[in-house]
């Protein structure tokens, strides 16, 4: 195992990684911008290094500064958390060149999955079901017209370099197709410097269901079940749960085993998430995330595994100490993302936090780097905490969630907690009847 790990991140995820390291007896190095000198991840780490001014591009994305911080402190490995450099293949390559272990998959696997066309081709080759559409990119409009006529309208044009919903255009008929394609191409070129696009059948009311996997990089992999992340606003998830209210154990085993076999064949190392759209009892691969995700705690709650400790173990060259049969699921878990935002306008609400009290008790976990007297800087993501509740059943979980939300005290800023309290009164949420458009439609009805 490593003796010292550098955590190239901030906020709740830096604390999350720090906790896993400390339990394994690994020394921790925090890095921070000048805006984060008073941040909790800096206080709790064994050592810390300032890596630059507030803008992330000059600090948390500053590769030379992070490599220098490793060299100064003697850190043998870097945990990137999520966001920032976590899916940057060049960063993984540079660390390797400096004999520093990137805690995550190979740069090659990050690259393959970072390009949506190669990701989809790879998934299909590995036996993962994909959305019907073009085999790879589309060259010209004539080809787009032919593919669209084949699969039938509506279709969606997507940018291969896209992500987070950027660079997508829906065409409902051949009449819309030419404009959809040229807009998608020019937007993709402008936003990502890569105008390549592909075409897919547009699924109208799917759920977003993702499978968590863990591989040892040596041909063994297991799946850890699914998470339902359909409740999103502007491609930002706000509520995630495991299991999905839409799946039974047989469906879970079938897609999970397929994905685990694919990742074993790929020789995937570390944790990863295969994202699917799920409609009419069918799964359709859309993309793969090659990092630890924000919502990983709901999987931890139903499996009892510490995903960050598993990452550290396989990164250090360890084997998976279990097979698929050893993975068992128990109960239900829900995560609510607490953002420093106005709960109706979603305007960011940084500033001084005067008072903090978190809920606790059985089946209640709060991952947060907040403390009373902390000033939330305006430069970064507005996520300030995650509430994860678990229970024997979904019903018990929902009752616990209502109770836990009522205990929160966060004074001085606005948070999205009232939104969750409101959602918990909605019959569709109580019954688990929602798709990827439910939340936006609900919010549109509120004004």
**Which residues are catalytic, by number?**
291
Nearest distance, CB of residue 69 and ligand MV4, angstroms: 33
| C-alpha–C-alpha distance, residues 316 and 77, integer Å | 9
Which of 395, 386, 284 is closest to 338 using CA atoms?
A: 386
- Residues near ligand MV4, by CB under 6 A: 131, 156, 165, 200-203, 208, 232, 235, 277, 286-287, 436
Instruction: Please state, in angstroms and rounded to a whole number, the distance separating the CA atoms of residues 83 and 105.
Output: 15
CA proximity to 82, closest of 272, 256, 309, 350:
272
CB of 292 or CB of 315, closer to ligand MV4: 292
Nearer residue to ligand MV4 within complex by CB, 118 or 309: 118
> Which residues have CB under 8 Å from 382's CB, separation 6+?
339, 340, 341, 348, 349, 350
Nearest-approach distance from CB 154 to ligand MV4, in angstroms: 8
Q: Would you say 131 or 305 has its CB closer to ligand MV4?
A: 131
Report the distance separating Cα 44 and Cα 182, nearest Å.
50
Measured between alpha carbons, how far is 12 from 386 in angstroms, rounded to an integer? 8
Q: What's the min distance (Å) between Cβ of 130 and ligand MV4? A: 10
Q: What tokens were used for 439?
A: 């939340």
* CB closer to ligand MV4, 268 vs 285: 285
CB of 295 to ligand MV4, least distance (A): 13
Kindly give the interhelix angle for 107-114 and 89-97, rounded to the nearest 10 degrees: 170
Q: Pick the closer one to ligand MV4 by CB: 132 or 351.
A: 132
Burial class (CB in 10 A: 0-12, 13-18, 19+), 126: middle
Q: What is the DSSP letter of 446?
A: H
Least distance from ligand MV4 to the Cβ atom of residue 432, Å: 16
Range list of β-strands (E), 246-382: 269-279, 282-289, 332-339, 351-352, 355-357, 364-368, 375-376
Label the pairing between strands 409-411 and 355-357: antiparallel
């Amino acid at each position: 195992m490593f003796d010292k790990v550098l955590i190239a991140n901030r906020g709740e995820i830096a604390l999350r990684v720090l906790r896993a390291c400390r339990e394994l007896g690994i020394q921790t190095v925090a890095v921070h911008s000048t805006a984060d000198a008073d941040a909790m991840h800096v206080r709790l780490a064994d050592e810390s290094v300032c890596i630059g001014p507030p803008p992330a591009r000059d600090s948390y994305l500053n590769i030379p500064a992070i490599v220098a911080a490793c060299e100064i402190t003697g850190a043998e490995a870097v945990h990137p958390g999520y966001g920032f450099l976590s899916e940057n293949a060049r960063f993984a390559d540079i660390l390797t060149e400096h004999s520093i272990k990137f805690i995550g998959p190979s740069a090659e696997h990050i690259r393959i999955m970072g390009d949506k066309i190669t990701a989809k081709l790879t998934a299909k080759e590995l036996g993962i079901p994909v959305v019907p559409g073009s085999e790879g990119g589309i060259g010209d409009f004539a080809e787009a017209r032919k593919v669209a006529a084949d699969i039938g309208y509506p279709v969606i044009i997507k940018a291969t370099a896209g992500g987070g919903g950027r660079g997508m255009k829906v065409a409902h008929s051949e009449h819309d197709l030419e404009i959809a394609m040229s807009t998608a191409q020019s937007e993709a070129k402008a936003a990502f410097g890569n105008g390549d696009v592909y075409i897919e059948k547009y699924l109208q009311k799917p759920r977003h269901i993702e499978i968590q996997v863990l591989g040892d990089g040596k041909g063994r992999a297991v799946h850890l079940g699914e998470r339902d992340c359909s409740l999103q606003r502007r491609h930002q998830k706000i509520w995630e749960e495991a299991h999905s209210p839409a799946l039974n154990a047989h469906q879970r085993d079938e897609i999970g085993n397929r994905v685990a076999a694919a990742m074993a064949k790929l020789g995937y190392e570390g944790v990863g998430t295969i994202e699917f759209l799920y409609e009419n009892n069918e799964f359709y691969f859309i993309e793969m995330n090659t990092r630890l995700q924000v919502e990983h705690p709901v999987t931890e709650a139903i499996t009892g595994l510490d995903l960050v400790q598993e990452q550290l173990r396989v990164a250090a060259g360890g084997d998976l100490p279990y097979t698929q049969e050893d993975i068992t699921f128990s109960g239900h878990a829900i995560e609510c993302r607490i953002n420093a935002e106005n709960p109706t306008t979603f305007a960011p609400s940084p500033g001084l936090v005067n008072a903090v009290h978190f809920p606790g008790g059985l089946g209640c976990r709060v991952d947060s780097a907040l403390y009373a007297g902390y000033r939330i800087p305006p430069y970064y993501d507005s996520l300030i905490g995650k509430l994860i509740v678990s229970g024997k059943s979904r019903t018990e979980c929902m009752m616990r969630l209502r109770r836990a939300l009522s205990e929160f005290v966060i004074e001085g800023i606005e948070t999205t907690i009232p939104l969750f309290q409101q959602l918990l009164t909605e019959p569709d949420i109580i019954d688990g009847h929602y798709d990827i458009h439910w939340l936006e439609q609900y919010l549109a009805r509120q004004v």
